[in-house]
Structure 1
Amino acid sequence: MLTRETLNEANRYVNTLAQLTIWPTGVGEELSEYVAEVIRVIRQSGLDNSTHAMSTDIEGDYDDVLDLVKRAAFVLYDHGYRTQVSLQLDMRPGFSGQMRHKVELVDEILNER
């Protein structure tokens, strides 16, 4: 049952770290041109993001992240391409800035050794 309390909970900020990969199938061996169009949407979103060789990390509110995943996936789909999406989410209450902090923590541990 939806009450004022559950509605307020549904509208709260939920820090979400996402690892996202979107690619078309059946277009040949080189995918960089297609992936670049997806990355353009991600970078223009305003959400914190970092692109790597095999995926892109995105951090923000849960609803904003999922909205961006949908918009990014439809970049290829709307052009008629069969589109594959791989998504992993880490929702961690009370935290933010995890995209960079997790890497800094590992680097710190490595520097101690």
Structure 2
Amino acid sequence: MLFAFSIAPSGTAAEDGSVSAAVAEAVRVVRASGLPHETTSMFTTIESETWDEGMAVVKAAVEAVQAVSPRVSLVLKADIRPGYTGQLTAKVARIDEALGG
């Protein structure tokens, strides 16, 4: 299962409007989880074997941001496909192959 999510604090940005310090705490949780993951400029994607395993990481990441912000925004998208693993990279590889790369 793939979970793509974005977590951001509301009302606690640095003077320059940056939320990177709070978001870094969420990414720290993801990296500590040991699950395959990828962080881009807009989303972090994790791959887990089960719904509960993936959602536990998302919940812990939200809680990490809540520790520094009274209000948190979460955007979540999931690809629920039991029995498939390695899709974090395999999906991209299939697109690259279709493009002739």
Whether TM-score is above 0.5 comes out as: yes
The alpha-carbon deviation at position 80 of structure 1 amounts to 3.9
* More contact order relative to length (CA 8 Å, sep ≥ 6): 2
Matched, 1:20 2:5: yes
Distance (whole Å) between structure 2 residues aligned to residue 51 and residue 62 of structure 1: 20
- Aligned mate of 1:35, from 18, 23, 32: 23
Aligned length: 97
How big is the alpha-carbon RMSD for the aligned residues of Structure 1 and Structure 2?
1.2
- CA 1:52–1:80 in structure 2 vs 1: closer, same or farther (change >3 Å)? closer
Segments of structure 2 that go 5 or more residues without pairing to the other structure are: none
Give CA deviations for 1:35-93 in whole Å, capped at 9, x if unaligned. Answer: 11110010000111000010001001211101111111001213343111111111112
SS in 1 for 2:79: strand
Aligned to 2:75: 86
**Shift in Å, 1:26:** 1.0
**Which stretches of structure 1, 4 residues or longer, exceed 4 Å deviation after superposition?**
none
Instruction: Work out which of the two has the higher radius of gyration on C-alpha atoms and give 1 or 2.
Output: 1
What is the TM-score of this pair, normalised by structure 2? 0.89
**Between structures 1 and 2, the one with greater strand share:** 1
Distance in 2 (CA, whole Å) between partners of 1:23 and 1:107 is: 31
Within-5 A mapping of 1:58-69: 58-60=46-48, 61-69=50-58
